[in-house]
Amino acid sequence: MDNIQTRVTLDDSLNALTDDLVRLSSKIDTAIEQSVQAYSNCDIELAQQIISEDTIINEKRFEIEERCLQIMVTQQPVAGDMRMIVTGMNIVTELERMGDHAAGIARLAVRVEEVPKRDVPGGIFQISTQCRDMLRRSVEAFIQRDASKAYAVAANDDNLDTQYRLLFHKTVAETRDASKSTDHLLSVLFVAHNLERIGDRATNIAERVIFMTSGKLTELNVYDPE
Amino acid sequence: MVNIAKTETKISIDHLYVRYEDDGTESLRDIHFDIPIHAITALFGPAGGGKSTLLRTLNRLNDMVDVSTRGSVLLDGVDIFSSNIDVVTLRRRVGIVFAQPIPLPFSISRNIRYGLELAGENRRSRLDDAVERSLRAAALWDEVKDRLGDPAIALSGGQQQRLCIARVLALEPEVLMLDEPTSGLDPISTAKVEASLQLLKQDYTVIIAPSSIQQTARIADWAAFMLQGELVEWNRGEDLFSAPRNKKTEDYITGRFG
The tens digit of pLDDT for each residue in A84-125 reads 999 999 999 999 999 999 999 999 998 766 666 778 899 999
Residue B258 lies in a domain: no
CATH number at residue B248: 3.40.50.300
Number of helical H runs and strand E runs in chain A: 6, 0
Q: Does B253 touch chain A (CB under 8 A)?
A: yes
Q: What ipTM does this complex have?
A: 0.73
Chain A hits for B248, CB-CB cut-off 8 Å, are none
Residue B214 lies in a domain: yes
Domains and CATH numbers, chain A: 2-214 (1.20.58.220)
B29 — alpha (psi -120 to 50), left (phi > 0) or beta? beta
Output the pLDDT for position A106: 96
Out of B241, B243, B255, the one facing A6 most closely (by C-beta) is: B255
Domain total for chain B? 1
CB pair distance less than 8 Å for A82 and B253: no
Instruction: Tell me: pLDDT of B26 over 50.
Output: yes
Q: Does A6 touch chain B (CB under 8 A)?
A: yes
Alpha-carbon distance B185 to nearest alpha carbon in chain A (angstroms): 20
Mean pLDDT of B151-170: 94
Q: Does B25 touch chain A (CB under 8 A)?
A: no
Residue B145 lies in a domain: yes
Output the pLDDT for position B5: 54
Confidence category of residue A3, pLDDT binned at 50, 70, 90 = low
The pTM of this model reads: 0.82
Q: Residue B126's domain spans which residues? A: 9-253
Alpha-carbon distance B245 to nearest alpha carbon in chain A (angstroms): 9
CB pair distance less than 8 Å for B242 and A10: no
Chain B hits for A214, CB-CB cut-off 8 Å, are 243
Mean pLDDT of all residues in chain A? 92
Pairing of strands B67-75, B9-20: antiparallel
CB pair distance less than 8 Å for A78 and B243: no
Percent of chain A with pLDDT over 90: 79
Alpha-carbon distance A80 to nearest alpha carbon in chain B (angstroms): 7
Rounded-to-integer distance, Cα A30 and Cα A41, Å = 16
Rounded-to-integer distance, Cα B24 and Cα A65, Å = 54
CB pair distance less than 8 Å for B242 and A78: yes
For residues A142, A144, A147, A150, the Cα torsion angle rounded to the nearest 10 degrees is -50
Read off the amino acid at residue A215: G
Confidence category of residue A198, pLDDT binned at 50, 70, 90 = very high
Residues 6+ apart with CB under 8 A from B165: B97, B138, B176, B178, B181, B193, B196, B200
Chain B hits for A7, CB-CB cut-off 8 Å, are 254-256
Mean pLDDT of B165-172: 94
CB pair distance less than 8 Å for A78 and B256: no
Instruction: Tell me: pLDDT of A1 over 50.
Output: no
Name the residue with higher pLDDT: B106 or B257.
Answer: B106
Give chain B's length.
Answer: 258
CB pair distance less than 8 Å for B254 and A77: yes
Instruction: Tell me: pLDDT of A224 over 80.
Output: no
Residue B1 lies in a domain: no
Residue B123 lies in a domain: yes
Instruction: Tell me: pLDDT of B157 over 80.
Output: yes
Confidence category of residue A226, pLDDT binned at 50, 70, 90 = very low
CB pair distance less than 8 Å for A79 and B214: no
